[in-house]
Chains A and B, each alone.
Chain A
Amino acid sequence: MERLHRNKISTEKIFILFALLLLAGAMLFGLLGALQYLIPGLLKSRLSFERVRPLHVSSVVFWIIMATMGTAISFLQEHTGKKLYSAQLLGIQLWIFILTIICILTSYCLGIFGGREYWEFPPLLSIPVVIGWILFLINFIKSAGSLKNQPVYVWMWLTGIVFFLFTYIESNLWVLPYFRNNVVNDMTIQWKSYGSMVGSWNMLIYGSSIFLMDKISNNKTYSHSSIAFALYFTGLFNLMFNWGHHIYTLPTQPYVKNISYLVSMTELVILGRIIYNWKHSVSAAKKLFHETAYRFLLAADLWIFLTLLLAIAMSVPAINVYTHGTHITVAHTMGATIGINSFLLLAMAFDILNEGCRSLEPYKKMLNRGILTANISLLIFWLSLIAAGIIKARWQMSGLQLPFSVMMQALRPWFIIFFLSGIALTTGFLLIIYPLVKNQLVCHLKWTIKRRKSSIRTKAALAME
């Protein structure tokens, strides 16, 4: 019975599998968007850029959110050693999210928008998102128990869940005319919420990756240590107050910008720690390199370093004034969501989905090839966006400004590299996603057949009696 049960896809795994499908879809929409940069007017009447961009970005955002929920719930149960408070609540949460995401993507295809950056769907669809998230919060609190003697990752999960709820609701305040009626007020609150929201999903993801690192290295000292909590509080401080760098050029309150500028410099502590820990990471890499999940974590480490360097530079207003409004911002956003968030989530997905009726061992070569391809192509992808951004920054600052279309023409060679490396990146990711999804589906199929056979046998036995 135990063995039979291992084949069944659990609710947590469905969160992750659905997330992986969203990731695959996101990359295909991303490629289409990049092609629209190269072939102006492509699919203009059916699927123009204002539909493709949200299809890409929302698929990416929901890949992160679904995978984050699935991994946190899964690891929480491993941490407590107990079942979740309510499996039923989790099931409801899953279906609320799946149905809402399908409605959101369909609304984009039909050209129905709410039109806010990153959350471009009609605001009514935010209601189920909030309800689903509240169910997540209830289940988490009831399952985790008190905060007494808890490792840092439990604090991080709780922080991430609470702050995501707060900032998501905050990002919808625009529906009230009081907040919407002035563009400067509206954008201040909008980017306040987005900055902290990204911080809150990072809390959840980093929390899970600390759990995973403890598990792989079989050592729990770090997650209870003072340094872990010191870094957690630094992260929390940044989550709360370091969002103003998005709006340095907006004529909003100067203190918003100054607070952000000052707070962002505390990130240097995190950067310093990465450099200080380098030797330790290298020796751990030697020991654990055979672990596929660890390879993802290692790749994410490198991307955390690169992204943080860029982020700290962009937090200085004098530099931000050049990079803002250029593809350097896109390089930063995609570098963080692909290089950090996606690699960390794939490490966790691998760890969770590896437990099933079939081993992932036969796919090791394919997975390693995928990891290598994704990393090399991501570096080229990232650099091409930075190069395009530098040209645009120079154009923005030049006294004699050429027309926008002429500047875009000058970016074309970099967009070609962006598109080609995007194909390689997508291929790398698909090489990773394919075995993860296939293995689970085969296991589930086996489980369904076995269950059917055993129920036929029971019925036959009953009939014989």
Chain B
Amino acid sequence: MILDKRKLAMAAGLVLAFLFYSFHLYTSLPAGHKSATAMADRGKLLWQDYNCNACYQIYGLGGYLGPDLTNAYSRRGPEYIKAFLKNGTDIMPNFHLADDDISELEAYLRDVDASGKADPRTFTINRDGTIAQE
């Protein structure tokens, strides 16, 4: 039987470590203070308003009906993205977006594209099981 005192000490130690880890992350965010432009931020909110993530992924996370769009901007180009947003597809509804909305969503996807590469082929696999990107 572990004594109550010991259990409390272990729990308190873990909670303190967790709080330290959490607040350390909040105050030293991984990408620093590289903020998106106001336009890209509005685009991100539109992305959420239309729940685009239910069908598409960013960095592999999201729904799986559509493809990963992290690097769609550099792979497909802005015109291709605009055409999609303007008309929808056989599967994707036409949201009848205004031109400003389309530009903001495009700015968001440009911003996401600039943040890194999500294509798994760009990773090298190390012998210890970790992965790295150049």
Point out residues on A near B: beta carbons under 8 Å. 36-37, 40-41, 44-45, 48-51, 53-54, 113-117, 120, 147-149, 155, 159, 170, 173, 177, 179-185, 187-189, 191-192, 224-226, 229-230, 233, 236-237, 240-241, 246-253, 256-258, 261, 316-322, 324-327, 329-330, 396-397, 399, 404
Contact = CB atoms under 8 A, between A and B. Distances in A.
Contacts of B68: 325
B115 A233 contact: no
The 4 closest A-B pairs by CB, nearest first: A115-B48, A325-B60, A251-B116, A181-B35
A250 B29 contact: no
Given A50-B93, A115-B47, 16 more contacts: A50-B54, A51-B51, A53-B63, A147-B8, A148-B4, A170-B22, A187-B61, A188-B30, A233-B14, A241-B18, A251-B31, A252-B31, A325-B118, A330-B64, A396-B120, A396-B121
B3 to A, nearest CB: 10
Contacts of A326: 64
B125 interface: yes
Interface in B97-134: 111-112, 115-121, 123, 125-126, 129-131, 133
A117 B14 contact: no
Nearest to A40: B91
A45 B133 CA distance: 41
Contact of B129 (A54, A316, A327): A316
B125 A236 contact: no
Contact of B55 (A49, A149, A182): A49
B129 A189 contact: no
Interface in B34-66: 34-36, 41, 44, 47-55, 57-66
Nearest to B28: A253
The main secondary structure of chain A at its interface with chain B is helix
B48 to A, nearest CB: 3
Contacts of A179: 26, 29
B36 A182 contact: yes
Interface string B59-98: 1111111111000000000000000000000111100000
A36 B93 CA distance: 13
B120 A321 contact: yes
Interface of B: 1-2, 4, 7-8, 10-11, 14, 17-18, 21-22, 25-26, 29-36, 41, 44, 47-55, 57-68, 90-93, 111-112, 115-121, 123, 125-126, 129-131, 133
Given A40-B91, A44-B91, A229 B64 contact: no
13 contacts: A41-B90, A44-B93, A50-B93, A120-B54, A180-B44, A183-B58, A183-B112, A188-B30, A247-B59, A256-B30, A317-B129, A321-B131, A325-B57
A184 B52 contact: no
Which residue of A40, A192, A321, A330 has the most chain B CB atoms within 10 A of its CB atom? A321
Given A41-B91, A248-B131, A404 B125 contact: no
Contacts of A241: 18, 21
A183 B64 contact: no
Contact of B54 (A53, A183, A191, A327): A53
Nearest to B62: A117
Given A54-B54, A257-B130, A397-B120, A185 B2 contact: no
A181 B91 contact: no
A36 B65 contact: yes
A37 B55 CA distance: 11
A325 B55 contact: no
Contacts of B14: 233, 236-237, 240
Interface centre among A230, A316, A327 (most CB of B within 10 A): A316
A164 B133 CA distance: 34
B58 A187 contact: yes
A230 B6 CA distance: 12
B50 A113 contact: yes
Contacts of B62: 117
A229 B35 contact: no
Contacts of A261: 129-130
B4 A249 contact: no
Given A50-B51, A117-B53, A147-B8, A189 B120 contact: no
Contacts of B64: 325-327, 330
Contact of A115 (B21, B51, B90, B117): B51
Most chain B beta-carbon neighbours within 10 Å: one of A36, A51, A317:
A317
A251 B133 contact: yes
A249 B60 contact: yes
Contacts of B59: 187, 247, 249-250
B84 to A, nearest CB: 12
